[in-house]
C-alpha cells in the first residue's frame, strides 16, 4: 500500500501526464477523472482515426506472422493500468512479460530517459560513457558478482553467458564446451538458446540445432550428475522456470547443484531474466536459496521497459579479453540511464519487499479461489511471479474472459495462467483482479 501511495504521489508531483501528450495527439481520446479512469471517447475524432488506419489489419499486412497476439491495441499506460485505442482501461497483470517492474511510465524512469535523450543516446563501446559505469557499479555493489557486460535482451545475455562459459572451458577446463540445461526451461530465441531451451516445441522447427547443450530433468540433481562429462563446462538453470509454467524447485535442489558444480570444477550459470530485480521478493532470487552463481544473467525488469540485458560474473570467471565479445547497442547511455533509475528506485524503496508482501497476498487470494472452484488444481509461485493451473485446457478461455472484463493475464500453458504484474501494485489492485477472476471462473462450464 505504501509503495502504491508513493507512486501516485510521484505521478502527481512530477506531472507525469505531460508524457502522454504525444499519444493523445495521435489518438484523440478524452481521458477524464482521477487517475484517468473511465474516460469518454471523442467518438467523432476516434472514428476518423479508425477509418484512416485499422492498426490490427495493418499489423497483419506488414508484420511477420511470428507472434500470437490478443486482439487489443494498447496506446498508453500508467502504473499498473493500460488503455486501448477505444479508451478502455485494463488492470495489467502481464506487465510486458515481467518487464514493467515499476509499472508503466514511472516518472523516475520517464525523467531519466528524457534527460538522457537530450544529453547522449548512443556512443558505442569504443568509448567510456558514464551511465554504463554507474549502472555496472550499482549492480556489483548489490550482488555477489564482480564484473558486468551489457547487451540488449535476455537472449543476448544468456548467449553471452554461454560464450563466457565456453571461453572459460577452453582456458581452464581442457576445452570443455557442453552446457547442461533442464527440460521445460526457456533461455531465449536465438538458435543457440533454442538448443539450450528444453522444450521440443521451440526446438523442432529449427533442427538440426547447434551442438553443446544437454537437456535433463528439472529439479533432479542426479540427472545433472549423470549428464556431466569431461566435456561439461557449465550448468545453466532458471531458479524458477517462468515460461515452463512457474515451476519451483525443491528447497535443496539448487544447493545440491551448486555443490556438484564445485566438486566438478564447472560453472553455475543462473538465468535470472525473469526472477531477478525484485520479482520474487528479494533483489535476486538466488539470495533465497543460500547459493551464489558464477555467472548470472539479467534483462526484463532491469530498465522497466527499456531494452537492456546484463551478464554478471565472478572475477575468476571473467575471462573475456578485448575483441572476444561485444555489442553495438549494448550498454548505450539511454538504456543504462533507465536501468540505473529503475534499479536505484527498486533498492531505495524496498520494491522487492513490496513484491514479497503483495505476492503472498495474491497467492492467499488465489488459494481462496482454488477452494471455491474444484477445477483449479494448483496455485504456485514466489513474490509476484505466480501461476494458477487448471484440470483442463481452459487457460485461453480464461485469458479472453478476463480481457472482456478489464484484466490482462497470460496463458503460460494450455491449462495454466500466469500473473506478472508491476512490482508496485497494492493489495487493493490484487482484490480488483481477484474479483474479476472470480466472475470469470464462475462462468466456466
Catalytic sites, residue numbers: 186, 271, 300
8 A C-beta contact, residue 235 and residue 224: yes
Q: In terms of residues, how long is the chain? A: 445
295 by Cβ neighbours in 10 Å (0-12 / 13-18 / 19+) ranks as buried
Phi, psi at residue 13, to the nearest 5°?
A: -65, -35
8 A C-beta contact, residue 154 and residue 279: no
Residue position matching grid coordinates 524458477: 240
- Cα(330)–Cα(310) distance, integer angstroms: 9
Is 233 in a helix, a strand, or coil?
Answer: strand
Among 276, 275, 277, 272, which Cα is nearest to 344's?
277
Task: Compute, in degrees rounded to 10, the torsion defined by CA atoms 112, 113, 118, 120.
Answer: 100
- Cα(274)–Cα(50) distance, integer angstroms: 36
Helix (H) or strand (E) holding 101: none
Among 60, 81, 83, which Cα is nearest to 73's?
83
- Cα(310)–Cα(272) distance, integer angstroms: 10
The residues facing 74 across adjacent strands are 84
The DSSP line for 108-177 is: HHHHHHHHHHTT-S---TTS--HHHHHHHHHHHHTSS--EEEEESSHHHHHHHHHHHHHHHHHHHSTT--
Amino acid at each position: 500500500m505504501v509503495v502504491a501511495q508513493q507512486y501516485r504521489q510521484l505521478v502527481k508531483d512530477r506531472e507525469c501526464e505531460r508524457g502522454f501528450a504525444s499519444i493523445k495527439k495521435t489518438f484523440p481520446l478524452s481521458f477524464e477523472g482521477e487517475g484517468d479512469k473511465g474516460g469518454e471517447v471523442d467518438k467523432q475524432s476516434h472514428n476518423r482515426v479508425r477509418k484512416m488506419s485499422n492498426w490490427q489489419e495493418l499489423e497483419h499486412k506488414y508484420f511477420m506472422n511470428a507472434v500470437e497476439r490478443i486482439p487489443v491495441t494498447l496506446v498508453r499506460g500508467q502504473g499498473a493500468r493500460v488503455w486501448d485505442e477505444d479508451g478502455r482501461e485494463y488492470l495489467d497483470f502481464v506487465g510486458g512479460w515481467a518487464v514493467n517492474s515499476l509499472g508503466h511510465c514511472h516518472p523516475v524512469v520517464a525523467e531519466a530517459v528524457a534527460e538522457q535523450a537530450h544529453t547522449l543516446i548512443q556512443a558505442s563501446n569504443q568509448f567510456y560513457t558514464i551511465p554504463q559505469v554507474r549502472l555496472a557499479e550499482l549492480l556489483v555493489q548489490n550482488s555477489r558478482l564482480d564484473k558486468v557486460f551489457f547487451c540488449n535482451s535476455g537472449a543476448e545475455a544468456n548467449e553471452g553467458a554461454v560464450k563466457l562459459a565456453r571461453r572459460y572451458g577452453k582456458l581452464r577446463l581442457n576445452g570443455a564446451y557442453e552446457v547442461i540445461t533442464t527440460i521445460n526451461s526457456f533461455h531465449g530465441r536465438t538458435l543457440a538458446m533454442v538448443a539450450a531451451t528444453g522444450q521440443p516445441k521451440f526446438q523442432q522447427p529449427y533442427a538440426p540445432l547447434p551442438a553443446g547443450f544437454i537437456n535433463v530433468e528439472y529439479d533432479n540433481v542426479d540427472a545433472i550428475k549423470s549428464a556431466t562429462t569431461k566435456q561439461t563446462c557449465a550448468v545453466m538453470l532458471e531458479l524458477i522456470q517462468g515460461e515452463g509454467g512457474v515451476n519451483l524447485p525443491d528447497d535443496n535442489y539448487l544447493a545440491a547443484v551448486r555443490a556438484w558444480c564445485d566438486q566438478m570444477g564447472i560453472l553455475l550459470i543462473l538465468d535470472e531474466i525473469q526472477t531477478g530485480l525484485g520479482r520474487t521478493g528479494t533483489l535476486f532470487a538466488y539470495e533465497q536459496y543460500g547459493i551464489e552463481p558464477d555467472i548470472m544473467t539479467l534483462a526484463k525488469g532491469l530498465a522497466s521497459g527499456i531494452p537492456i540485458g546484463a551478464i554478471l560474473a565472478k572475477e575468476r570467471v571473467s575471462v573475456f579479453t578485448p575483441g572476444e565479445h561485444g555489442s553495438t547497442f549494448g550498454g548505450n547511455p539511454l538504456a543504462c540511464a533507465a536501468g540505473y533509475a529503475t534499479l536505484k528506485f527498486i533498492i531505495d524503496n524496498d520494491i522487492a519487499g513490496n513484491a514479497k508482501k503483495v505476492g503472498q497476498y495474491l497467492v492467499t487470494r488465489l488459494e481462496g479461489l482454488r477452494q471455491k472452484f474444484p477445477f483449479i488444481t494448483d496455485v504456485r509461485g514466489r513474490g509476484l511471479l505466480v501461476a494458477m493451473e487448471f484440470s483442463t485446457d481452459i487457460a485461453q478461455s480464461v485469458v479472453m474472459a478476463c480481457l472482456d472484463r478489464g484484466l490482462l493475464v497470460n496463458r503460460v500453458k494450455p491449462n495454466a495462467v500466469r500473473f506478472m504484474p508491476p512490482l508496485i501494485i497494492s493489495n487493493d489492485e490484487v482484490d480488483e483482479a481477484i474479483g474479476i477472476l472470480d466472475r470469470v471462473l464462475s462462468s466456466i462450464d
